[in-house]
Amino acid sequence: MATNQLPDALLVKNYIDGDETALEVLINRHQSKIYGFIYSKVLDRDIADDIFQDTFIKVIKTLKGNSYNEEGKFLPWVMRIAHNLIIDTFRKNKKMPMNRETEEFSIFSYMTDNSPNIESQIITEQVENDLLKLIDELPEDQKQVLKMRIYDDMSFKEIADLTNVSINTALGRMRYALMNLRRLIEKNQIILTN
């Protein structure tokens, strides 16, 4: 009988006995099923090839080490090895996720530089300058509270103590400062966004 027509069990036996062509026949016979199965799980050609290779390295080591004892069930046995290696791959990728460039997913969208560019830095500077000019327009007591609260990050208790007024007065001044700021912004039609 030609080698190509021998059943799996006999090819396995021949391979164990030293016939290297038997392995080639087994691979040619089952590569489509095994590779298709791996690819259907990992959906990546390169990873599928790696797993296919590792699967057969295990097969070879087991057969040459005389540890194979599933005569007649070669394909399910190889599929089980492949399945275990697929699970191992997913476990590894969970610990170290890898993203590949695809049509739907651009690696550059994942690796964006979130630091502001020169344009947005200039806009932010301008906005801050405009805001300082508007704050300067406020009455002195309101300006003082607003600067202490926003720029010096002081609590209303600290502001009240420092300006010798009650907390309620400090809160009121802050409220009026914000209302007046809004009014000034609307009046001058200033856009304070970048």
Question: Based on CB atoms, which residue is closest to another protein, 52 or 156?
Answer: 52
CB of 102 to another protein, least distance (A): 14
CB of 37 to another protein, least distance (A): 9
Q: CB–CB of 91/157 below 8 Å? A: no
Minimum distance from residue 29 beta carbon to another protein (Å): 12
Nearer to another protein, 17 or 153 (CB): 17
- Residues at the site binding another protein, with contacts judged by CB under 8 A: 20, 23-24, 27, 31-32, 35-36, 39, 48-49, 52-53, 56-57, 60-61, 64-66
